[in-house]
Every structure is written in structure tokens, then in C-alpha cells.
Amino acid sequence: MPQNQTMSLDEKLAIGCKAAELWDAGDKEGFANLMRTVPLPPYLAKVMKEKVGMEFFTRYNWNLSEVEAEFGPDYIST
């Protein structure tokens, strides 16, 4: 899903369930990669930006669509 589209709660839950299956199967990397496709909540991004910087999110390819929608596209780069 492109990062500029919203994701429904049902879609987020389906990804979470699939990720849990990967975790249970011992695929921790697959779990982490799949979980990063769920849009990061803006409130969490705000706290993490202050604590570890936005490079953490961009380096690991987090879905920041909801962050951009709430704070604007420049929030990630500043």
C-alpha cells in the first residue's frame, strides 16, 4: 500500500494477525518488516522523534503516512 493512502482498522488488524503468525513461526525479521507497514501513530512518532530522531523511522522504512497527514510532509525531514 502506498504510504499516502490510509489504512482501515481491519487492514491493520489483519496485518497484525499475519505478523503474529510470523513471530510464532520464528520469523522475527518478517514480523518486524510486516509491522512496519502499518502506519505509525502520530503521537508515537512525536515522542520517538524527540527521543531517537526521525532517522530511525526513515532508515527502517516505517509507514509514516498518518504522521505526514497530521503534521505535514516536512515534519519527517525537520
Q: What is the pTM of this model?
A: 0.77
Residues 49 and 66 in one domain: yes
Residues 44 and 32 in one domain: no
Residues 43 and 74 in one domain: yes
- The one-digit pLDDT tens for each residue of the chain (78 residues) are 445 567 899 999 999 999 999 999 999 999 999 999 999 999 999 998 899 887 888 788 889 999 999 999 888 777
Residues 32 and 46 in one domain: no
Q: Which residues form the domain of 31?
A: 7-38
Residues 30 and 44 in one domain: no
Cell numbers standing for residue 46? 512525536
* 3-state helix/strand/coil string of the chain: CCCCCCCCHHHHHHHHHHHHHHHHCCCHHHHHHHHCCCCCCHHHHHHHHHHHCCHHHHHCCCCCHHHHHHHCCHHHHC
How many domains would you assign to the chain? Answer: 2
Instruction: Report the phi/psi class of residue 72: left, alpha or beta, with left for phi > 0 and alpha for psi in -120 to 50.
Output: left
Residues 48 and 20 in one domain: no
Residues 62 and 52 in one domain: yes
